[in-house]
Structure 1
Amino acid sequence: MSAKKRKNLNKMEIDANEEDSSSSDDDDDVEDGTHPDAYRGNEEVQVDFEGRAPIDPDGEGISQLLQRLFLRAHINCNQMADLLIAQNYVGSVICQCEDEGAESETDDDGMVEDGTIFGITSVLNLTAKKEQPSVIQLRSYLLERAQKHAPKEVQQELHELLENATRHVGLIINERFINIPAQISVPLLQNLHEEIVAAKAKKMKFDFGTYLMLVKLYRKEAKKGKPAEDTYTNAEEELIAERAKLSFEYSVAGECDSGMAGDWLEGDAVLTPYRKVLIFEAEQLPQLINDIKGYINGE
């Protein structure tokens, strides 16, 4: 989508009681991205969202979303946000729709002025951009985490993927505020796939062989004979995790800010924040999107 072309994603009624209480009720905005204006107490608020291509004023909002994903990792999120914006032919940000009949505020170039960025769905070519500072940092981060937390075969596979110059690896970024329902992911991922196909047809560097994703989840630790239970911040990512070719995970409880340090409590249950790295074949993406649609609709 061009910066001027907008897609109304859906009209969603946000009810705090219907959200994932295990990961949102008492969590800090820095970690989860909860937007305080999206709901007020138990009041149901209807919010309209739309997707559009990222533009320069979105840089700060995109960077903040990336920081929630990477936490204290030494990754230049501002520079990564600039890379995502520069490829304005692929990827979308989530914005709140303007009121009907209201005049749009634009700058001298006709672009919509800066507003809150509620999410981003995009892809970054880790192979073609391997010399960029933020990508160098990300690659090191992934390999270091794999060395500490992944089985040997996963470590080896990840290293080979990141070092293979001929089979390009794309990092899919699928970040949004926690109180935005999973239904929004379907049009965003569909649009991303269509844009990747169009970019490939134009011989741009979006011919991926493999995708990586870094996703957020909370774990209710095993207790009194009950097994551990995982709750994904973005519900659709649970299905992607189930279908991933390879994956590994690690706790980030020690990487959160002061208000987020340690564990969380849900009643008498402990909730611990994790990150999971997913690896899957690029050819799986269309079917995954269809499966996500059915998964969300309860089919």
Structure 2
Amino acid sequence: MDMVNVDFEWFDPQPDVDFHGLKTLLRQLFDIDAQLFDLSALADLILSQPLLGSTVKVDGNETDPYAFLTVLNLSTHKDKPVIQQLTQYLSKQATKRGGDIAKVLPQLLAPENDAQVGLILTERFINMPHEIVPPMYTMLQEEIQWALEEKEPYNFTHYLILSKTYSEVESSLRTDDQPASKKKKGGGGVEPETFYFHPEDEVLHRHAVAWSNFEYETPVDAGASDSKRAFQEMGVSSKGHIILLEADKFAGAVDAVKEFLNGAQ
């Protein structure tokens, strides 16, 4: 096996060069529901706070990011249409899922609520090493602390992390040596196993108030899962994922993520 050495560099978001790269990563994060949001406005909003959040690049500051992480104050930006879209969307998904997430998140995101919810948006190309994640979270913590010392509006009560998961589904394609499988009779009702695009999500769950998968709203055709084949025999069905943490649990959650990812092989 050939090994390729790559040097990763961390940068502040760059308004002059990162717009298109951020849009690409946001489109990947929101998957098939990306069309529901004004991603240009969302990228502009991220770039309007260049001292908060970070990008990861490999060929210098003037190139497109391979990963990013940032936080947006949903209360401060509540009058912006794209934040209204996001808030309504996330509240709707939580309500549809039921359970603990439905009990707490819609109430927190209600316009009349005084909670300061920081929406953490983070995405990376699928082949990026997980070791890039702990430094991004560490820098975010430091930047929030610096912003608070400057009396800026980042005194969050909660953090809401938007992410993605997937499940494997039986392929609808047939190979030369594999006949089409018959549909199973009966059964049903058992949720397929969840896999994580971001392995740190499972660690964050342990510190969360609530978390949940959710189905995307945009309809897909029957062969969509086969366009994301993880293995030869299986297709991939993506889902949205949300994790809600109280602010006083955030530091402990980040420490656990560092320990897990830096120790994972």
Q: Tell me the TM-score normalized by structure 1.
A: 0.73
What residue in structure 2 maps to residue 88 of structure 1?
Answer: 50
8 Å CA contact retained: 2:97, 2:212: yes
- The answer for the alignment partner of 2:257 in structure 1 is 292
Q: Which runs of 5+ in 2 are unaligned?
A: 171-183
Q: Which residue of 2 aligns with 1:79?
A: 41
Equivalent AA in structure 2 for residue 161 of structure 1: L
Q: What residue is the counterpart of 1:44 in the other structure?
A: 3
Tell me if 1:240 matches 2:188: no
- Is 1:126–1:171's contact at 8 Å kept on the other side of the alignment? yes
Partner of residue 136 from structure 2, selected from 188, 205, 218 = 188
Q: CA deviation at 1:267?
A: 4.0
Aligned equivalents of 2:20, 2:115: Cα separation in 1: 31
Can you list the C-alpha shifts for 1:164-213, whole angstroms capped at 9, x where unaligned? 54320000112111111111111110000110011011110000000101
Task: Give, in angstroms, the shift of residue 154 of structure 1.
Answer: 2.8
CA contact (8 A) 2:225 2:235 kept: no
CA distance in 1, matches of 2:256, 2:95: 32
Structure 2 distance, partners of 1:146, 1:290, is 27
CA contact (8 A) 2:67 2:124 kept: yes
| 1:127 counterpart (63, 75, 89) | 75
Contact kept in structure 2, 1:253 and 1:261, CA below 8 Å: no
Q: Secondary structure at 2:194's aligned position in 1?
A: strand
| Cα offset, 1:144, TM superposition | 2.1
The answer to whether the 8 Å contact 1:193/1:285 transfers is: no
Tell me which residue corresponds to 2:181.
none
Whole-angstrom CA distance in 1 between matches of 2:106 and 2:215: 21
- SS state of the match for residue 45, structure 1? coil
Residue identity matched to 1:53: D
- Shift of the 60–47 alpha-carbon distance from structure 1 to 2, 3 Å rule, reads same
Structure 1: segments with no counterpart, 5+ residues: 1-41, 99-111
RMSD: 2.8
Map of 1:23 onto structure 2: none
Q: Write out aligned runs for 1:124-203 (5 A).
A: 124-151=72-99, 153-163=100-110, 164-203=112-151
The structure carrying a bigger strand percent of its residues is 1
Asked if 2 retains the 8 angstrom alpha-carbon contact of 1:95 and 1:118, the reply is yes
Q: 1:255 & 1:116 partners in 2: Cα distance?
A: 30
Shift of 1:64: 1.4
